[in-house]
């Protein structure tokens, strides 16, 4: 039995989808525990590309139960469209389960997200305008509407009518924006309820029962550690707990039920949206990485900002998540670079720091301290064994392990499921698991 948590160590987009897909192929349950359709995982299987926003990446494994946990906020229209797209490509979706305690993203959340972001001007956060923040704000303010409410038309309409008076007043009087009609939303959401009701269960009992039965379970995070509402580069963060700690509240399990926490990091660093980014590259190297790595957001299509590997932020993620190992993705993207830099610390006011809390005030004062290593030209896309990597590629990984004091249990050398080097025996055993 193994209960594995996958979390991003940077600002999201670390390649979690392809690692989740690989491990979920042998998992018996895959659980998404936070975020909404602002997240995006691109998974490539048999040269087919799947872009997943709400459905766990394990949906491509017909033998795995896929759970959208209570910590997720759900836009039902987005979810239904995603399910239809999967089904059109021959993917089964009857193994999906949705927590009845998930909060709903409503049309007014999306509208408020957009007008609020517009009003901030130069102080804008860079949200995806999917309504995520306003939905979580209502959840914290105890005025949210949950999926269990959606399943009861009378309760849903009563709550909708009450909250919409307030939301319409804000939209009209503060932002001079259009109001919403109760009946329009009600009728649309009743259609969604009819489609989704077959998936809705109490997932906390479901997940804990699977653990009690000794099943292999994968907990799939979205975004990354530096976007965590508590531990990220606030205010340029998301609105949920993206770290390993979010697993417990977001899926309804206790903290002693996890065996292994794996942090996902690219072999370089990327960021989408606003906020400080110490190792960001605005030169030909940044352009090279962006183009070769296809660094464009799955959800937004926005070009990702690219930079050198940042050991300071990964050390922080290691502490916050209690990481057991790293999965390093996209090592193949660095192929062809003559020299590669690694940020080993920050220079803040003339003093070098190996570890800092990455808040925006600190990062604004930070200048990256680099070491430079030799690159490699050899094609590594079909290498299955660590010792088969070119000397300089192998040395690059070994330097990262030494600087971070954490092993790299997985190294991806290409986008497909098979293009990965597994170095951890427990993971090898997990991947050999059969029912």
Contact 222, 32 (CB under 8 A): yes
User: Within 10 A of 372 (CB to CB), how many other CB atoms are there?
Assistant: 10
Given 21, 41, 113, 149, which residue is catalytic?
A: 41
Q: The whole model's pTM is what?
A: 0.92
Average pLDDT over residues 78-88: 95
Q: Is pLDDT larger for residue 30 or for residue 18?
A: 30
H-run or E-run covering 73: strand 73-74
| The pLDDT of residue 435 | 42
Provide the pLDDT for residue 158: 98
- Residue of 103, 132, 136, 105 lying closest to 117 (CA atoms): 132
Check pLDDT > 70 for residue 1: no
| Structural tokens at position 15 | 């390649």
pLDDT tens figures, 198-233: 999 999 999 999 999 999 999 998 889 999 999 998
Residue identified by tokens 């009518």 is: 161
Mean pLDDT of 424-434: 76
Residue 51 pLDDT: 83
Cβ atoms within 10 Å, residue 204: 17
Mean pLDDT of 345-368: 91
Residue 30 · residue 218 · CB < 8 Å: yes
Mean pLDDT of 30-38: 94
- Ramachandran class of 57: left when φ > 0, alpha when ψ lies in -120 to 50, beta otherwise: alpha
Residue 391 pLDDT: 98
- Average pLDDT value for the chain: 92
Is the CB of residue 228 less than 8 Å from the CB of residue 237? Answer: yes
Average the pLDDT over 125-154 and give the result. 93
Give the mean model confidence (pLDDT) for residues 184-196: 98
Residue 294: Cβ-neighbour burial (10 angstroms; 0-12, 13-18, 19+): exposed
Q: How confident is the model at residue 141 (pLDDT cuts 50, 70, 90)?
A: very high
Q: Read off the pLDDT of residues 306-352 as tens digits, 9 standing for 90 and up.
A: 999 999 999 999 999 999 999 999 999 999 999 999 999 999 999 99
Catalytic residue among 13, 21, 37, 324: 13
- The yes-or-no answer on residue 433 being catalytic is no
Residue found under tokens 């009819």 = 194
Q: What is the pLDDT of residues 252-275, one digit of tens each?
A: 999 999 999 999 999 999 988 778
Structure-token pair, residue 42: 């691109």
Contact (Cβ atoms closer than 8 angstroms) between residue 8 and residue 40 = no
Chain centre to alpha carbon of residue 4: 15
Is the separation of the CB atoms in 357 and 346 below 8 Å? no
Active site residue 13: yes
């Amino acid at each position: 039995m193994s209960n594995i948590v996958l979390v991003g160590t940077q600002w999201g987009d670390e390649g979690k989808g392809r690692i989740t897909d690989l491990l979920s192929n042998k998992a018996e349950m895959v659980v998404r525990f936070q975020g909404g359709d602002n997240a995006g995982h691109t998974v490539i299987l048999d040269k087919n590309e799947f872009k997943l926003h709400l459905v766990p990446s394990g949906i491509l494994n017909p033998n795995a139960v896929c759970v959208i946990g209570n910590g997720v906020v759900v836009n039902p229209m987005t979810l239904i469209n995603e399910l239809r797209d999967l089904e059109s490509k021959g993917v089964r979706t009857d193994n999906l389960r949705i927590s009845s305690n998930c909060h709903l993203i409503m049309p007014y959340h999306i509208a408020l997200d957009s007008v609020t972001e517009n009003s901030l001007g130069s102080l804008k956060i860079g949200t995806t305008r999917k309504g995520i923040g306003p939905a979580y704000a209502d959840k914290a303010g105890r005025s949210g509407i949950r999926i269990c409410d959606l399943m009861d038309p009378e309760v849903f309409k009563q709550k909708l009518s009450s909250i919409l008076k307030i939301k319409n007043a804000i939209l009209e009087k503060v932002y001079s924006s259009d109001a919403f009609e109760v009946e329009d939303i009600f009728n649309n959401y009743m259609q969604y309820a009819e489609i989704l009701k077959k998936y809705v269960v109490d997932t906390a009992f479901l997940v804990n029962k699977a653990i009690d039965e000794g099943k292999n379970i994968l907990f799939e995070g979205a975004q990354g550690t530096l976007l965590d509402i508590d531990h990220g580069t606030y205010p340029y963060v998301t609105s949920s707990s993206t770290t390993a700690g979010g697993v417990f509240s977001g899926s309804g399990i206790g903290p002693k039920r996890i065996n292994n926490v794996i942090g996902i990091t690219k072999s370089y660093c990327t960021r989408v949206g606003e906020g400080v980014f110490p190792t960001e590259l605005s030169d030909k190297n940044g352009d090279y990485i962006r183009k070769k790595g296809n660094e464009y957001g799955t959800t937004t299509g926005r070009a990702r900002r690219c930079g050198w590997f940042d050991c300071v932020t990964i050390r922080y993620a290691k502490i916050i998540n209690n990481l057991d190992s790293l999965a390093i993705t996209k090592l193949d993207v660095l192929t062809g670079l003559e020299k590669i830099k690694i940020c080993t610390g920050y220079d803040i006011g003339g003093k070098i720091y190996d570890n800092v809390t990455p808040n925006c005030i600190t990062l604004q004062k930070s200048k990256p301290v680099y070491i430079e290593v030799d690159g490699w030209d050899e094609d590594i896309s079909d290498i299955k064994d660590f010792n088969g990597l070119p000397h300089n590629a192998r040395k690059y990984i070994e330097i990262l392990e030494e600087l971070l004091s954490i092993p790299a249990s997985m190294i991806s050398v290409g986008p497909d499921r098979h293009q990965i080097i597994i170095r951890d025996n427990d993971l090898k055993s997990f991947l050999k698991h059969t029912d």
